[in-house]
Homo-oligomer: A and B are copies of this chain.
Amino acid sequence: MTPTVGKPQTKASRLGPLYAPIEAELEAAEEILRGQLASQYPFVDELAKHGFRLGGKRLRPALLLLAAKAAGECAQEHLTLAAVVEMIHTATLIHDDVLDDATLRRHVETVNARWNNQTSVLLGDYLFTHAFYLASTLGDAFACQMIGRSTNIVCEGELRQIASRGNFELGEDDYLSIIEAKTAELCACCCLLGAHYAGADKTVCEALERYGRYLGISFQIVDDLLDVLGSEAATGKSLGTDLAQQKLTLPVIRLLEEAPQTERARFVGILARPENHRLEELGPWLESSGALRYARQKARSFADQARAELELLPPSPAKTVLEMLPEFVVERQQ
């Protein structure tokens, strides 16, 4: 039997057929990634290669390339930028794994588990700075500016999330604003860059940017739902981690908002207790109160908003995939 740890990603696991219209471009972007991350220093080279294997669905480069093809033509800039956004995403994953003390990601050992936190912090920084350098080689400062701004908003979102831990008053609007920053912002940036470097006009650029934003919000709501609902085998990570960290996500926020005063106090008591059996205790309530259904419905509504932004685009295979992605995001089990 093949061991799971260290098993490389296959193309099929990266949303396979959905990527058909951009398969060649995605492969070219991977080639750029491989070339850019090669280092003359053996340790740095080994680390960068390992980091590169942690990436998963290649959703961000795919969004960038699909937006480009749906709005015009894919050019060399797009291939470079696809590598840039994947590098940035990988850097944030590696730093997330330090934060979470995670040992496995998508069945591959994390950098902090295989080496240590120090190496993870530096490898993340190495990828971040390399991504910015690569973006600057396009010749104009537009990509640098958009990527700099978006990644800064992502970090701010993550910091806001830390600050909100243990805050049982967190409302739905705050939650949505935080996930928009930490997750949707980079998706929006990818779609905008794809459209901009395809020469699309302002209306199309803005519509695709909003598409990415709504898709990203929908994606994160479902991610948070899977932390409560998913199967550990499918997601490849442990469940209930948000509740363990007293990080309120949409189903719990909804449960607290809709509960009568006395029940609400009991739920807050469960959340605030030092020992962590929160998922076991709250799980049945999340189900019976309709809070899970509500969250799924909310994800679906953002997915619908995403799809609606595509109306102004002419028909194309790339547009068809962009139309299918929101449904895929809402229905995914991992």
Residues of A at the B interface (CB closer than 8 Å) are 39, 41-44, 47, 92, 95, 98-99, 117-119, 121-126, 128-130, 132-141, 144-145, 147-149, 151-152, 154-156, 158-160, 162-163
Contact = CB atoms under 8 A, between A and B. Distances in A.
Contacts of A42: 163
A33 to B, nearest CB: 15
A45 to B, nearest CB: 10
A39 B145 CA distance: 19
Contacts of A135: 144, 148
A151 B148 CA distance: 15
Given A41-B159, A98-B117, A160-B43, A137 B145 contact: yes
A158 B95 CA distance: 16
Contacts of A134: 148
Copies of this chain assembled into the complex = 2
Nearest to A147: B132
Contacts of A44: 156, 159-160, 163
B122 A148 contact: no
Contacts of A147: 132
A136 B124 CA distance: 21
A41 B221 CA distance: 22
Nearest to A126: B155
Given A41-B159, A132-B151, 20 more contacts: A41-B163, A43-B159, A43-B162, A44-B163, A92-B125, A99-B117, A117-B117, A118-B162, A122-B158, A123-B159, A126-B159, A129-B148, A129-B152, A132-B148, A133-B149, A134-B148, A136-B141, A136-B148, A138-B141, A144-B144
Residue of A121, A134, A135, A138 contacting most chain B CB atoms (<10 Å): A121
A148 B141 CA distance: 13
Contacts of A151: 125, 129, 132
A128 B128 CA distance: 9
A121 B137 contact: no
Nearest to A144: B136
A136 B145 contact: yes
A44 B139 CA distance: 33
A151 B125 CA distance: 9
A4 to B, nearest CB: 28
B141 A126 contact: no
18 contacts: A41-B156, A41-B160, A43-B160, A43-B162, A44-B160, A47-B159, A92-B125, A99-B118, A118-B162, A121-B124, A126-B152, A128-B129, A129-B148, A129-B151, A133-B152, A136-B141, A136-B145, A136-B148
